Amino acid sequence: MDGMSGYDVIVIGAGASGLMAALQLAKAGKKVQVLEARARLGGRIYTTTDAGGNGQLELGAEFIHGNLPETQQLLKEAGLTYHEVAGEMWRMEKGALVKSEMFIPDWPLLVKQLELLQEDITLESFLQQYFPGERYSGLRKAVENYAAGYDNADASNASVFALRKEWLQEEDAPQYRIDKGYGSMIAFMAENITALGSQIIVNALVKEIHWQPGKVTVHTEEGSYYIANKIVIALPLGVLQANAKQEAAVAFMPVIDKLEQAFHQVGMGAVIKILIEFAPAFYQQLLQEKGLQHMQFLFSEELIDTWWTQVPQQQPVFTGWLGGFKAKKHLHASSETLLQMALQSLATILQTEVAVLQQHVTASKVANWTEDTFTLGSYSYATVETPAALPLIEQGLADTLYFAGEAFYQGSYTGTVEAALVSGKQAALKALQA
């Protein structure tokens, strides 16, 4: 068994939150050891290059959802540029494509009722109570689909207060993409961490964390162990919620019962993301024929129901998105099955034949994040129980164990890279102050 000691802090997980925590600690002069189970860095950030070599594509996080201070400050430090994403919103209704600026029909009616709500309840209860009967069946379905798609949230336990806060603040928020992809931001943080004398190890799957006040010993699957004074655990919520039989599950010794209970009081979403790249000439002609040259988002009721393009960039790519309960239905589907579902959905929406689309596909990628061993979900959402759980998690344990990640962020930008960065920074500051 190989052992390594002499570290001030160990960070588990080299996603955005873990790397931000490690960077802050390293800047403060601490010797940090980052352990990452995957062979790559970034976690749910996974930037790839398109088949034409013309730009970056995101299999994971893609957008900057508004003017987000931590994200934009980090991009500025890294010298990375980004562009605003603006285009038309379309919807498929009764077999026809129509331009629509509202994600949800009767949006003003929904907003009015949301603003009047005095006590937090689940989304399902809210819809049943305030929009009952056949008259509102379309609105209920649209809201549940939007919550599942955008927030990856389950209506049966999602907090209406949390959704209200998010939905109402984001009505006019600009969206951006990073020109070189989120992966460039990850690379910048990693380079700075190592330049400051700390270390990042990949293919290091942590299985056990033995802890006592002021000391942690971390054991990995391959038999190595690492010793430090403190630890920042920046694992996805899905991994922290995993049962002991799942490969990525981590055992705490002694157990942390109250915190594990708190982990389960936060919701973890599900998502499948499918990128289909076409021959450029075919793609442009198809969009032009359908009047979709400026289409940004398109919503439908097909199996893969949400689609978007790279507008204003000209990359010939359609991105399909299936979130929430719909993604869970296809959790164990093969990548080939999911790709065929996507092509069939796209063919129906664009009123063409699957064979015609297949003939012009140049590349495709499927990311089933909920099936992914080291993620086990997409991003978090608040349940009615979450507000009580988060302060407990944020405290950590014995000035020794700290937790970071988008799921543990308490602010207005839940489920985002911004949330991950803020949480990572806050965990590092707590570790430094203790």
Annotated binding site: 17, 36-37, 206
| Residue positions forming the annotated binding site for FAD | 17, 36-37, 206
Strand pairing report for 56-58 and 47-49:
antiparallel
Q: What string of H, E and C letters represents the secondary structure of the chain?
A: CCEEEEEEEEEECCEHHHHHHHHHHHHCCCCEEEECCCCCCECCCCEEECCCCCCEEECCCCCEECCCHHHHHHHHHHCCCEEEECCEEEEEECCEEEECCCCCCCHHHHHHHHHHCCCCCEHHHHHHHHCCCHHHHHHHHHHHHHHHHHCCCCCCCEEHHHHHHHHHHCCCCCEEEECCCHHHHHHHHHHHHHHCCCEEECCCCEEEEEEECCEEEEEECCCCEEEEEEEEECCCHHHHCCCCCCCCCCEEECCCHHHHHHHCCEEECCEEEEEEEECHHHHHHHHHHHCCCCEEEEECCCCCCEEECCCCCCCCEEEEEEECHHHHHCCCCCHHHHHHHHHHHHHHHHCCCHHHHHHCEEEEEEEECCCCCCCCCCCEEEECCHHHHHHHHHHCECCCEEECCHHHCCCCCCCCHHHHHHHHHHHHHHHHHC
